[in-house]
Amino acid sequence: MHVIPKKNKTLAAWLAFIGGQLGLHRLYLYGLGDLWAWVHPVVAALGWWGVERVRTFGQDDQLAWVLVPLLGFTLAGTAVTAIYYGLMPSEKWNLLHNEAVADAPSGNTNWLTIGAVVFALLFGTIALMSSIVFSFQRYFEYQVEEARKISQ
């Protein structure tokens, strides 16, 4: 007889918050066959490459303007996922992730779950706003520099 393990909401929320850019929460919930679990690290790696390009070539690297937000959006998206998991009602959690498991109380919300939600809200907002500000600021500064060149 094959025993299906219970999926814990608190663990899933923390995995989404801490290891979301690696797709750990998707691997935990859906297994190794989940395509989206494998997309997360690719997109995050492109974002980290953008950060490295900024460190190497400076803030005027236009490719980095596109790549850095990928990391920010990945971090923000997985933070939203952690918030979604953490605030999901226990009945819905068990229906979605523990339906085949008899007597599955793993969808209960506790203080550790709320902690994941609070930290995800804090750091997800910082990641999203920072990546947007970086890209737009560099883009507009570039436009001003080009306008100055044309006007001279």
| pLDDT tens digits along 55-93 | 999 888 889 888 988 999 999 999 999 999 999 998 899
- pLDDT given for residue 97 in this prediction: 86
Structural domain boundaries enclosing 138: 9-151
Domain assignment present for 2: no
Domain assignment present for 1: no
Domain assignment present for 113: yes
Statement: residue 16 has pLDDT above 60: yes
Domain assignment present for 4: no
Q: Write out the two tokens for 152.
A: 């001279």
Judge contact between 105 and 149, C-beta under 8 A.
Answer: no
Domain assignment present for 84: yes
Domain assignment present for 86: yes
- 95-145 pLDDT per residue, tens: 888 876 656 556 678 899 999 999 999 999 999 899 888 878 888 888 898
CA gap 29, 125 in Å, rounded: 25
Q: Write out the two tokens for 95.
A: 């229906």
Phi and psi, residue 119, nearest 5°: -65, -40
Domain assignment present for 59: yes
- pLDDT given for residue 43 in this prediction: 96
Q: Each residue of 129-152: b (16+ CB within 10 Å) or e?
A: ebbeebbeebeeeeeeeeeeeeee
Radius of gyration, alpha carbons of the chain:
20
What pLDDT band is residue 37 in, cutting at 50, 70 and 90? very high
Domain count, the chain: 1
In order of 63, 100, 106, the CA distances from 2 in angstroms are: 49, 12, 19
